[in-house]
Amino acid sequence: MILQIFCVHDTKAEVYRTPFFMKTRGEAIRAFKDLANDKNTAIAKHPGDYRLCHIGEFDDEYCTLVYAERITGLGFGSDYLDLPSGAIPLGIVKEG
């Protein structure tokens, strides 16, 4: 199975957090949206400081990891605040 690789860029600390894997970009967007709206997370406390990024793909059958030619930003935490269910921020193109 091909898994997508994402990470969160902390723009104030100038670091990328530990990468994580999801089946689809939609799953990662939903998880990031949940974090941005959960007042107990650092992302919710400083939503303009954190940006979701897609960085590549991992094939768990052949153990291959392919980094994207360039990092794709999928919006800042502030872009995801109080969006209706199923909505994504303007400028973020849905897959498929």
User: Do 57 and 66 touch, CB atoms closer than 8 A?
Assistant: yes
pLDDT by residue (tens digit) across 65-81? 999 999 999 999 999 99
Res 64: pLDDT? 97
DSSP string, the chain: -EEEEEEEEETTTTEEPPPEEESSHHHHHHHHHHHHH-TTSHHHHSGGGEEEEEEEEEETTTTEEEEEEEEEEEEEGGGGTTPPTT---TTPPPP-
pLDDT by residue (tens digit) across 8-58? 999 999 999 999 999 999 999 999 999 999 999 999 999 999 999 999 999
Confidence of residue 95 (pLDDT cuts 50, 70, 90): low
Q: Identity (one letter) of the amino acid at 38?
A: D
pTM: 0.88
